[in-house]
Structure 1
Amino acid sequence: MKISRLLTLSTAVLALLVFGMLGHITREAWLHYDDTSAGLQALRLTQRAMIAAEKLSFERGPVNAVLGDRQPADPARRDRLTRARAATDLALIQLERELQNDFGTQHPVEMASLYQALAEARNTVDTLASAAPAERTPELLKNAIGRMFALVPLALDAVGGYTLASERAYPRISRTLIKTRYAVELREYAGRLGSVLTVPLAKRQALVPAEHEQLEMLRGRLAQLRQQIQALGEDGGNPAGFNTVMARVDEIYFGTGLGLVAGIEAASRAGRDYGMDTGQFAQRYVPTMTPILSLRDELLQEAQTQAQSDHEHARTELLIVCSSGVAILLALTLLLLIVRRRVIVPLLRATRAVIRLGNGDYSRDSSGSQRADEIGDMLRALSTLRTNSIERQQLELERQHLIDELRRRADTDYLTGLLNRRAFTTASTQRLRRARGRNETLAVVLFDIDHFKSVNDSHGHETGDQVLIRVASVVREELRDGEILARHGGEEFVVMPAHCTQEQACALAERLRSAIASEPLTLADGHILRVTASFGVASAAGPQISLDDLLHAADLALYRAKRKGRNRVESAA
């Protein structure tokens, strides 16, 4: 065995032992630190998600006021709703920004369903608010309120996921986070309790038995949540200000807020006028829920304090481990410096050169080829290999470019730039196989230009070519990605939509027909030539679906469209 090989082997064994030991210790310390960092991120996201959930709950107050408003509408109530929506949007933007900063997601999946449901709920509210009060039936009011209710669980689902991540990183704060979730639910159910009165207050009608029962059920749930929050802190695990904040919750919400609801119930049973509408009720009831938010913030602050302490401890441990590792590596480096400089370093450089060549990176030539030893021989060989590889790569790129160009020309109609009939058959056959396997409906739209022969006869074939190009361009702009468009022959074109029923295919054909008819062609002599087309639509589903059958059925429908006067869409029977 050569000395260089023996020294390399000895160095590698020693380095493996040292690196293995240090790597294991450092990895454990880093994982612990990384877990605490991820936990802090999750805790911060938890707070953002809870704030977003609270803003969604708060928005229901102005919504209830607007839905119960009389005509003419009160601008102040609409302004409060606008401000509440702006606060909700800001909270959601901040939550989404946190998701993007922490996880690098451009459009977080967690937010998509929430944004969609929020837009639909707001649209329902605006539509109902613009209607006359007599048209706001209890069913429509309950539907609008129900859509607003459905928003908070979407935000709370995100809270649950991030809270679990925080609990895994910080088991010490799990009880505090559970109490925080209870506080969020307490605010949500308090909002639900007030929303039950929206329809009676808006319609000036007495509460029905089902509403009395719902109020009683919600009061029971509120009392249960309050008891659970108190029970989790009986062993002294509550933050310093917990008792003070909880006392304000008992006094202001469970006293004043629930007392206001009880007064409305009493007026309903006695048949008295409520003395307020939805907006006035919201102005008096919503502020009583503010101490619940203070309770949530107090618990979150305690959790963050505990988590930050654990994170600082993990960072200190990581710094100690890294410092020890650096000291050991420096000592090892001093012992192996001579061997590394004459043998190991040149071999590593050569290895990196080989790796670059293997990965197709020919940008840098190997250095040190003037050396008169074995390493110099290897570097010169690598330089020769690099030169040969560059030449071979250039030849391969030229060959592939030629193949791609030939394939493109073989599949493209020379005049319109669309797929030709052969390429359409290939593409549609693949889609046909997928449709059979999934038992999907497959549609075909076949159309040709009306009186095209007379265009050629009257204006010449060059004008006919312009008509074909114009029609192809108009249709291409109307289609979506994934829809196959081809020139089927002469003045005839074919479209195969993606995942399209017979009715949808007919609607698509009608849109294409209208687009073609609305795009006249101005000739070189200034004459305006109006172009129309006739369409035949056919669809089928099942394992026996056949492309030839679809085209034949669409062709018959197209023939029927021409027979009935052209410039129309006909569907296969």
Structure 2
Amino acid sequence: MRLRSLFVGLQTLIGVLIAALLIQVLLVQWQQVTRSDEGLQALRQFKLLLVSAEMASRERGPANGVLGDQLPADPGKQERLKQARARADAALAQVQQALEGQPLVRTPVQQAASQLSRARKAVDALAAQAPTRREAGALHDAVGEMFKVIDHLEPVALKLADLTVQAYPELADDITAARHAADLRELAGRLGSQFTPAITARRVFTPAERLEIERLRGRIDELGKLIDLRTRYIETHAACINAAQTMQADYFGDAARFIDEQVATGSGDGAFKVDTAQFAARYVPRMDAIISLRDTLLADAERSAVEKYEGARRQFALLAAGGLLTLLLLAGTVWLINSRVVSPLLSVTNVISALTRGEWPPVLNVGSGFHEVAELQRSTDVLRQMSLDRQQLEQERQQLIEQLRDQSNTDFLTGLPNRRGFYALAEHHLISRLRDPVPLALAMFDLDHFKQINDQHGHDTGDAVLQGVAEVCAKLCRRGDVVARYGGEEFLVLMRQCSLEDAREQAQRLRQGISGLAFTGTDGKPLRPVTASFGVTVLADDDTDVQAALARADAALYGAKRAGRDCVMTMVP
């Protein structure tokens, strides 16, 4: 093979190798740019969704005012309701436009809009009746219809939050805290709505109303602590901490005291000194601090996401420019070697051949060396190392995403699956049941008088009780059963290959194990025995999810509460 042919083959091989490495590096970087862009869009859609949920929640305030109004209706209250509805419609329309082309997340938003329309019809129908004909049950149902709007939007918020965190794992604290703030605003709004029937009728709370108010207040306090915990670990946290402090002062201070006053009235003689409109005017503005914290967190997250996205784009441009420069350098090197090495060698060959034939040798053009080959080798090694580094970064990033996904499914206090983790495991069991039909049982239990433990002995003692209960459940439950902390002091146990009677016996064992625990308060004195009430059911053959079973177990649990607590009640499908 002649030297020139060998050189052409080698330079072609080297050119293809460098181009392949360059394309690989650019593809990896372009994927990073794409993921960053998708994450940024998901973050902005998440922000719009939370605003739409807020607007739908804010509509309940004027709606409650209208439901508590006399006839003829107050034009001012009607106008405020009309404006609130217009804002909610505009926010939902903006979200649907942003989610165009994404049916999996856009459809629930459309369902939320339809649900809002139905809820408005229920509110308008009640408001048209005389105040004396507005029954408490109908008021609760009307407000409950508005609650369902948020229930439609919540899965979309979780999906968009997950997409954002997958693209920007470092924003997990910001996104989670913002979602907690949005949940806090919604629960605060629902808490305010619980007062509407009693204030409208000027009566004391029903037991169900009082129970729901206490439940909501407990959940609100829990979210407040979670938000405080999250904001402590956000790197650029000065503005977030200021917003959190403002929220503590406005909502957990002023608004909480106002709610205490109304709870005292509703638990006493029912002689409320405010109507529903006045209640909203005093209570709703204090919730603005929650929204301010949410917006501060989202603004901080969006700023960080934009910076990372722009950085990814700049890095891609630099890599593309560097790759182009490398190709130009390769072409120059090939030309240089050809002109200074190959051509001189061919000239020498021609001279020698001419001499051996006895001919007159041509003029010999002498080259100046071949050190450019080392430069080409170093350039190729740089490209290879860049590709290896990029692959290592991608692997570490994937591991971090998996770690964050596991953490998001686990309750940090007990180590048990949280609500989200439970739903994922339950879905896995339901899918397995399609292939191998086996009976599934579900137990829901609640620690009796747990709030008194927190109030009398502090949350550290309460946390110790929750951890002890989790350890007993893990010890007594069978391998393959799913034990989860559903929220607060509520736990769930999903049992495979288990009939209703077997599940009841297992619940009795758990109840006895819990009542056998011994705890010591902060004063060193032993606590009274901790007991739990259980509701047990089985999944029907046609159950495609656990929602119906959860509702039955919850109803059985409340039956256990009504039966005196520290017992097990069952309910068949």
TM-score, with normalisation over the residues of structure 1?
0.54
Aligned residues between the structures: 332
Amino acid across the alignment from 1:244: N
In 2, the alpha carbon distance for the partners of 1:222 and 1:56 equals 19
Alignment of 1:313-352 (within 5 A): 313-330=311-328
Amino acid across the alignment from 2:173: R
RMSD across aligned C-alpha pairs, in angstroms?
2.7
Counterpart of 1:187 in structure 2 is: 185
In 2, the alpha carbon distance for the partners of 1:193 and 1:57 equals 11
Contact 2:191/2:217 (8 A) holds in 1: yes
Bigger radius of gyration among the two: 1
Q: Note if 1:96 corresponds to 2:89.
A: no
> What is the DSSP-based 3-state SS (H/G/I as helix, E as strand, rest coil) of the residue aligned with 2:99?
helix
Counterpart of 1:171 in structure 2 is: 169
> What is the DSSP-based 3-state SS (H/G/I as helix, E as strand, rest coil) of the residue aligned with 1:271?
coil
Alpha-carbon deviations, 1:117-172, whole Å to 9, x = none?
A: 12211121122222222322111111110010111122222111111111011111
In 2, the alpha carbon distance for the partners of 1:211 and 1:205 equals 12
Alpha-carbon deviations, 1:329-387, whole Å to 9, x = none?
A: 445678999xxxxxxxxxxxxxxxxxxxxxxxxxxxxxxxxxxxxxxxxxxxxxxxxxx
Contact 1:49/1:156 (8 A) holds in 2: no
In 2, the alpha carbon distance for the partners of 1:295 and 1:249 equals 7
Alignment of 1:495-514 (within 5 A): none
Change in CA separation of 1:123 and 1:242 when aligned onto 2, cut-off 3 Å: same
Change in CA separation of 1:12 and 1:62 when aligned onto 2, cut-off 3 Å: farther
Contact 1:50/1:156 (8 A) holds in 2: no
Counterpart of 1:153 in structure 2 is: 151
The partner residue of 2:292 within 291, 294, 314 is 294
Counterpart of 1:128 in structure 2 is: 126
Contact 2:65/2:280 (8 A) holds in 1: yes
Change in CA separation of 1:125 and 1:316 when aligned onto 2, cut-off 3 Å: same
> What is the DSSP-based 3-state SS (H/G/I as helix, E as strand, rest coil) of the residue aligned with 2:238?
coil
Counterpart of 1:466 in structure 2 is: none
Change in CA separation of 1:236 and 1:10 when aligned onto 2, cut-off 3 Å: closer
TM-superposed deviation, 1:38: 1.0
Counterpart of 2:441 in structure 1 is: none
TM-superposed deviation, 1:252: 1.4
In 2, the alpha carbon distance for the partners of 1:195 and 1:55 equals 15
Amino acid across the alignment from 1:320: L
Change in CA separation of 1:333 and 1:83 when aligned onto 2, cut-off 3 Å: farther
TM-superposed deviation, 1:71: 0.7
The partner residue of 1:118 within 116, 121, 140 is 116
Alpha-carbon deviations, 1:412-447, whole Å to 9, x = none?
A: xxxxxxxxxxxxxxxxxxxxxxxxxxxxxxxxxxxx
Identity of aligned residues (%): 33
Counterpart of 1:432 in structure 2 is: none
In structure 2, the gaps of 5 or more residues are 336-573
Amino acid across the alignment from 1:53: A
> What is the DSSP-based 3-state SS (H/G/I as helix, E as strand, rest coil) of the residue aligned with 1:212?
helix
Counterpart of 2:52 in structure 1 is: 52
Amino acid across the alignment from 2:200: A
Alignment of 1:439-454 (within 5 A): none
Counterpart of 2:86 in structure 1 is: 86
Alignment of 1:167-566 (within 5 A): 167-235=165-233, 237=235, 239-271=237-269, 273-330=271-328
Contact 2:174/2:234 (8 A) holds in 1: no
TM-superposed deviation, 1:237: 3.6
Contact 1:55/1:91 (8 A) holds in 2: yes
Following TM superposition, the consecutive aligned residue runs of length 4 or more in structure 1 with deviations greater than 6 angstroms are 5-12, 104-107, 332-337
Counterpart of 1:411 in structure 2 is: none
- Of 328-337 and 199-208, more deviation after overlay is shown by 328-337
In 1, the alpha carbon distance for the partners of 2:13 and 2:116 equals 62
TM-score, with normalisation over the residues of structure 2?
0.54
Counterpart of 2:141 in structure 1 is: 143
Amino acid across the alignment from 2:61: G
Change in CA separation of 1:211 and 1:320 when aligned onto 2, cut-off 3 Å: same
In 2, the alpha carbon distance for the partners of 1:48 and 1:325 equals 39
Contact 2:48/2:95 (8 A) holds in 1: yes
TM-superposed deviation, 1:302: 1.4
Contact 1:59/1:81 (8 A) holds in 2: yes
In 2, the alpha carbon distance for the partners of 1:205 and 1:136 equals 13
Change in CA separation of 1:153 and 1:9 when aligned onto 2, cut-off 3 Å: farther
In 1, the alpha carbon distance for the partners of 2:87 and 2:23 equals 48
Change in CA separation of 1:182 and 1:108 when aligned onto 2, cut-off 3 Å: closer
